[in-house]
Amino acid sequence: MTPPPVAGSVISTVNLVKIYSNGGVPVPAVRGVDLRVEAGEFVAIMGPSGSGKSTLVHMLGGLDSRTSGEIWLDGRRADTLGESAWALLRRRKIGFVFQFFNLVATMTVADNVELPALLAGASAREARERRERLLAELGLTGRADASPAQLAGGEQQRVALARALANRPSLLLADEPTGNLDSRNTRDVLRLIGEVHRGGQTVVLVTHDARVAGMADRVISLLDGQVVDDGTVGAARRRPRGTAGDVVELRG
Amino acid sequence: MSTLRASARWIRADLRARWGQALLTVLVVAGIVTALITAATLLEDGTNPWRRLFTESRGAHVWIHTRNAPDVAALSRLPGVVQVAGPYRTAPVTLAADGRRSPVTLRGMEARPPAVAAPLVRRGRWLRPDDAGGVVVERSFAEALGLRVGAPFTVTALNGASHPLTVLGLADTADQGFYPETAPGLAWTLTSTLAGVEPALGRSESVTGLRLADGEDTLPVVHGAATLLGGQIQRMSTWREVRAAMELDNRLLGLLLALFGVAGLVAAALAVANAVGGRVLTQTCDIATLKSLGYTRGQVFGLLTAEHGGLGLLGVAAGLLCGRLAASFALDGVPVSTLSSLPPLAIAAGAATVVLVAAALPAWRGGRTPPIPAVPAAPPRGRLSRVARLALLVRLPPALVLGARDAFTRRVPALLSIAGLAVPMMMITIGLGCWATLDDFLLHPERVGQAAALTVHPGRLPAEEAARLAEADPQVAAVYPGSEVSALEPEQTRSVQARALGTSATPYPFPVVEGRMFAARGEAVAGQGLLDLLGVRIGDRVRMTVGGTPLIVRIVGRVLEPDHDGEVLSLGLDSLAAKDAVPPQFYGLVLRPGADPEEVRARLLTASDEALEVRRVVNPAERLVVIRGVIVALIVVLSLLGLANLLTASALGLRDHALDLAVLKAVGLTPRQVTATLVAGTGLLAVLGVGAGAAAGAWLVGGLIDLQGRGSGFGAGIGRAPSALTMAVAVSAAIGAALLVTVIPARRAARAQVPTTPR
């Protein structure tokens, strides 16, 4: 019913719907989202609690299944993929960062970062080299042998970021990556995500914090599972007024 | 393939984080596989030394004991008979060594070893034509007495004359069972030497062995021989009795181990399933993270199965090794034909399958974890039940009520935990019951037919003098005259023992468990083994032959019979023909309570100037002393099993309720009450499991032991449940240990800063 997505889009969704069932009562979380993210874009998805932004980004990464609609990744239909095919896709193309870091508690920082590389078939040496480089970039060289529990929250999130970047994914999905951090750590993590973006990777970031969203090229606002606003922040800064960017700035 | 390296990292890290639990799994599985393999080895036919000895010595299938040498030519013409061994002349003598007097059967042989049933010389050498003063001694007998090659072997014949002989060699034989289960001991000497020791033909008998074409088919030959020789036959035996005599102890031990092993394997499967299930639940978030990183469902399943199943397989391998070691230790010194490696491998494969399935089922559930790490896998929650509200109303401690409610928030793990504790506790109770039964044997030998602690053989004295001496001893409560004769059973295929002890008027206190004691001439009581052998019941009349004289008795009761697989007929001395009963062969001495049998024995020997032969009665429990060691080892393994289950339950309880802790503290529970809540949750499961297991064990143990007693011919009625005190101690120890194991992590959790955010 809709035209096929334009080539060059990293993500495109067509009328994406997610309805949870809570005790037999259908609870719509995402209601018909049409979204297109181009390669190299930095998109922030904003909205209040319960607006469906986490659900949307989980569906984009295949962590959650859609109720209806289409998801296209790199010009290929992805919503019809099975769980295993999604897993393989994530391994190669998608990096995830979560609010609560989700480092594997029993593994050291080094093992946590090397895990995705090893999973994707890198040799132990290659994985180690990548890990050393990433940890050095994120200022964590000295903490390689520490266990996650020994790290502060900001450090843990940087490790999680290093893990998400271990396979140089073309798409980084971040679900409230700064939701659990103080302002200094928030700044650090956002700076790092910014660097990733400048390196050419596509970033989709979920946040309810307008300052965080301000880092992005483009801000999409969700309310009750629907896109209520979609605007380019960079352009807004250059243009005088009248876009969502201004609203965000005011809120911040 | 690419996931191997990543999975190896994960497994390594996970094992490092919970090495104690991992080690516990390995130890438990190893212990159980060890028990199973040892059991299989002990129960395997190849471990019965009889098979190898019989093959190696080309043994005789049937042995016939007659007064005089039988007609060999006629015997060899019997259908099925291939070769004949003997006839050999044998004479009963007494060996005096180290102050002990042991009865020996001296068998006359030629210097040339026979073609059939040749003794297998293991040390020294066989007899030579000029070895007038030499003997070759049966190996188990020599070992029991500490005889070596070159040792003196001074025997006293029935006429009292002493003959100094020398041990030339030690040999194995398949002609009779091992000493002391089979007594008297056996020694071979040259026919000429035997004639010198016992010149009177009337005091010796003749032994003839028949080797058959088909060993399974002994019946026609036995019947043929009985018809041919008639009243001449004193006693007959077949290879089956020898084989049974050689396997006695190992078999009981093997059965015990097998019972514990099989039940243990079930419990171990429960423990592994519970542990993996609990681990999957505690790691839900990590597993979700793995999936978000690109693990597929199948890969997560494989990862979990590899880790937990791998631990189990390691345990199986260790058990295989330990089982082999334990079996070779148990069979130390027993001549065993090559063991088949099939049963241990089958056990290992079976145990491996059980462990893998037990690990795979929860791993499968783990594989289906949704890949969103943020969703906490909360237990199903509900409102307080009516019972709980009532409990709070009557002011039961809230910690107890909350804990009891928490215990069942997850039904399946809770039930697995209860079953996982109940099965080991049940087996421990059964083990304690075996222990109590052994204790009962030792403390109350009169209940198992061993009221007489000593038997006195008149030796060189007249029987009346022996009786007078015994009665004169202040510590002797009663003296019962007795005789033991071989009786050919009605079909005349084999001999059983007829034991006359006491008289019909004053019977020996046999432990009658069914029917009644014999009270008149012509009445007898029997062991379970004899009832089974003859296929008769209490109240039936049986006809036997003792040395050619018919013996017709009515069986009026069943007694517990520890000797000869229960194939013993017990009757009054007056029921035997006078030729067998007068004078009595021996006297059974019942001592006064508290008397020391050794002391009485020494006193009797002194009083008779060493003329009497006084023997201590060997309690069957003394032979089974190794079972106690096995019971202790099994209790250790089973306790570890229970511990593994408990740790799982405790970890799961903590994980599920970690979030509640903050709430509990917020509503005003002290850290101590929070600890109590957590302990009550796991403790309730422990109490239920231990209680159910102990009850089931106590209910089963008597029946199980009686079943074994019945099967071994001993007879039902020996099984004892552990005493109430033992049970109370065991149950409180188990529950106490369980609470202790729970309280440490609970305290830590209650004092820790509790996260209020989802993990």
Strands A9-22 and A68-73: antiparallel
Average the pLDDT over B492-500 and give the result. Answer: 76
The residue among B4, B283, B293 with the most chain A CBs within 10 A of its CB, best to mutate, is B293
Supply the DSSP string of B486-541, one letter for each residue: EEE-TT-SSEEEEEEEB-SSSB----EEEE----STTEEEE-HHHHHHHT--TT-E
Q: Which of B1, B17, B299 sits opposite A106 (nearest CB)?
A: B17
Average the pLDDT over B157-169 and give the result. Answer: 82
Question: Would you place residue B331 in the very low, low, confident or very high pLDDT band (cuts 50, 70, 90)?
Answer: low
Q: Percent of chain B at pLDDT above 90?
A: 5
B759 chain-A contacts, CB cut-off 8 A:
100
Q: Which of B10, B296, B373 sits opposite A87 (nearest CB)?
A: B296
pLDDT of residue B2: 65
Q: How far apart are CA A213 and CA B358, in angstroms?
A: 49
Q: Which of A99, A105, A119 sits opposite B295 (nearest CB)?
A: A119
Q: Which residue has the higher pLDDT, A18 or B375?
A: A18
Q: For residue B463, which amino acid is it?
A: A
pLDDT, tens digit, 9 for 90 and up, residues A79-114: 888 888 888 888 888 988 888 888 888 888 998 888
Q: How far apart are CA B156 and CA B101, in angstroms?
A: 10
Contact call for B2 and A119, based on CB within 8 A? yes
pLDDT of residue B668: 76
A106 chain-B contacts, CB cut-off 8 A:
13-14, 16-18, 286
**CB A126: neighbour CB atoms within 10 A?**
14
Q: Which of residues 99-138 of A touch B (CB under 8 A)?
A: 99-100, 102-108, 111, 114-116, 118-121, 124, 127
Average the pLDDT over B101-120 and give the result. Answer: 83
- Interior CA angle at A28 toward A22 and A29, to 5°? 100
pLDDT of residue B685: 87
User: How distant is the Cα of A217 from the closest Cα of chain B, in angstroms?
Assistant: 26
pLDDT of residue A183: 82
**Per-residue CA distances from B28 to B260, B270, B322, B606, B613 (Å):** 13, 12, 13, 56, 51
- Cβ-count burial B405-438 (b if 16+ within 10 Å, e if not): bbbbbbeebbbbbbbbbbbbbbbbbbbbbbbbbb
Measured between CB atoms, does A96 come within 8 Å of chain B?
yes
The residue among A55, A60, A106, A176 with the most chain B CBs within 10 A of its CB, best to mutate, is A106
Q: Which of residues 25-54 of A touch B (CB under 8 A)?
A: 54
Q: Which long-range contacts (CB under 8 A, 24 or more apart) does B665-669 make?
A: B665/B754, B669/B398, B669/B399
Average the pLDDT over B699-726 and give the result. Answer: 77
pLDDT of residue B305: 92
Tokens of B379: 């237990």
Contact call for A106 and B286, based on CB within 8 A? yes
Residue B756 pLDDT > 50, yes or no?
A: no
pLDDT, tens digit, 9 for 90 and up, residues A193-250: 888 888 888 999 998 888 888 888 889 998 888 888 887 765 444 344 444 444 444 4
Average the pLDDT over A27-51 and give the result. Answer: 89
User: How distant is the Cα of B4 from the closest Cα of chain A, in angstroms?
Assistant: 8
**Which DSSP symbol is given to B677?**
H
User: How distant is the Cα of B628 from the closest Cα of chain A, in angstroms?
Assistant: 43
Q: How far apart are CA A131 and CA A140, in angstroms?
A: 10
Tokens of B234: 């004193």
**Per-residue CA distances from B580 to B508, B547, B570, B583 (Å):** 18, 9, 14, 8
pLDDT, tens digit, 9 for 90 and up, residues A151-160: 888 888 888 8
B13 chain-A contacts, CB cut-off 8 A:
104, 106-108, 111
- B717 SS3 class: coil
Q: How far apart are CA B432 and CA B11, in angstroms?
A: 39
Question: Would you place residue B560 in the very low, low, confident or very high pLDDT band (cuts 50, 70, 90)?
Answer: confident
Residue B318 pLDDT > 90, yes or no?
A: yes
pLDDT of residue B376: 52
Q: Which residue has the higher pLDDT, B409 or B684?
A: B684
Residue B724 pLDDT > 90, yes or no?
A: no
**Per-residue CA distances from B447 to B434, B443, B444, B506, B620 (Å):** 16, 9, 6, 18, 12
Residue B682 pLDDT > 70, yes or no?
A: yes
pLDDT of residue B48: 66
The separation between the first and the last C-alpha atoms of chain A, rounded to the nearest angstrom, is 39
Task: List residues of chain B with CB under 8 Å from any CB of chain A.
Answer: 1-3, 5-6, 9-10, 13-14, 16-18, 285-286, 288-299, 370-374, 757-759
Domain residue ranges of chain B, discontinuous segments joined by + = 1-61+215-377, 67-77+84-213, 385-445+621-759, 451-618
Q: Which residue has the higher pLDDT, B248 or A199?
A: A199
Tokens of B233: 């036959």
User: How distant is the Cα of B386 from the closest Cα of chain A, in angstroms?
Assistant: 24
For residues B560 and B715, the answer to whether their CB atoms sit within 8 Å is yes
Contact call for A90 and B293, based on CB within 8 A? yes
Average the pLDDT over B242-257 and give the result. Answer: 68
Give bridge partners of residue A19 from the DSSP assignment. Answer: A28
Rg (CA), chain B: 33
Burial of A3 (0-12, 13-18, 19+ CB in 10 A): exposed
Question: Would you place residue B175 in the very low, low, confident or very high pLDDT band (cuts 50, 70, 90)?
Answer: confident
User: How distant is the Cα of A244 from the closest Cα of chain B, in angstroms?
Assistant: 30
In CATH, which of 3.40.50.300, 3.30.565.10, 1.10.150.120, 3.30.230.10 is domain A39-64+80-251? 3.40.50.300
**What is the pLDDT of chain B when averaged over all its residues?**
80
* Structural element, H or E, at residue B654: helix B625-666
pLDDT, tens digit, 9 for 90 and up, residues A156-182: 888 888 888 888 888 999 988 888 788
pLDDT of residue A26: 87
Contact call for B285 and A106, based on CB within 8 A? no
Q: How far apart are CA B325 and CA B632, in angstroms?
A: 18
Of B350-354, B368-372, B421-425, give the lowest mean pLDDT range.
B368-372
Residue A56 pLDDT > 50, yes or no?
A: yes
Of A85-89, B454-458, B748-752, give the lowest mean pLDDT range.
B748-752
B289 chain-A contacts, CB cut-off 8 A:
98, 102-104
Q: Which long-range contacts (CB under 8 A, 24 or more apart) does A110-113 make?
A: A110/A135, A110/A144, A110/A145, A111/B9, A111/B13, A112/A148, A112/A159, A112/A160, A112/A163, A113/A159, A113/A162, A113/A163, A113/A166
**What is the pLDDT of chain A when averaged over all its residues?**
83
pLDDT of residue A17: 92
Supply the DSSP string of B464-485, one letter for each residue: HHHHHHHHHSTTEEEEEEEEEE
Measured between CB atoms, does A90 come within 8 Å of chain B?
yes
Whether the full predicted model's pTM is greater than 0.80, yes or no, is no
The separation between the first and the last C-alpha atoms of chain B, rounded to the nearest angstrom, is 31
pLDDT of residue A249: 45
Q: How far apart are CA B655 and CA B506, in angstroms?
A: 72
pLDDT of residue B126: 85
Residue B380 pLDDT > 70, yes or no?
A: no
pLDDT of residue B375: 53
Domain residue ranges of chain A, discontinuous segments joined by + = 39-64+80-251
Residue B683 pLDDT > 80, yes or no?
A: yes
Q: Which residue has the higher pLDDT, B635 or B327?
A: B635
User: How distant is the Cα of A111 from the closest Cα of chain B, in angstroms?
Assistant: 7
Average the pLDDT over B306-314 and give the result. Answer: 91
Q: Which of B18, B294, B372 sits opposite A119 (nearest CB)?
A: B294
For residues B358 and A87, the answer to whether their CB atoms sit within 8 Å is no
Contact call for B285 and A124, based on CB within 8 A? no
The residue among A89, A104, A130 with the most chain B CBs within 10 A of its CB, best to mutate, is A104
Q: Which residue has the higher pLDDT, A141 or B310?
A: B310
B721: Cα within 13 Å, side-chain hemisphere: 16
pLDDT of residue A247: 46
Tokens of B492: 């005349």
Contacts of A63 (CB under 8 A, 6+ apart): A96, B291, B292, B370, B371, B372
Of A226-230, B660-664, B737-741, give the lowest mean pLDDT range.
B660-664
Q: How far apart are CA B248 and CA B242, in angstroms?
A: 10
pLDDT of residue A5: 53
B22 chain-A contacts, CB cut-off 8 A:
none
Supply the DSSP string of B633-647, one letter for each residue: HHHHHHHHHHHHHHH
Q: How far apart are CA B455 and CA A108, in angstroms?
A: 75
Backbone angles phi, psi at B567, to 5 degrees: -90, 65
Question: Would you place residue B489 in the very low, low, confident or very high pLDDT band (cuts 50, 70, 90)?
Answer: confident
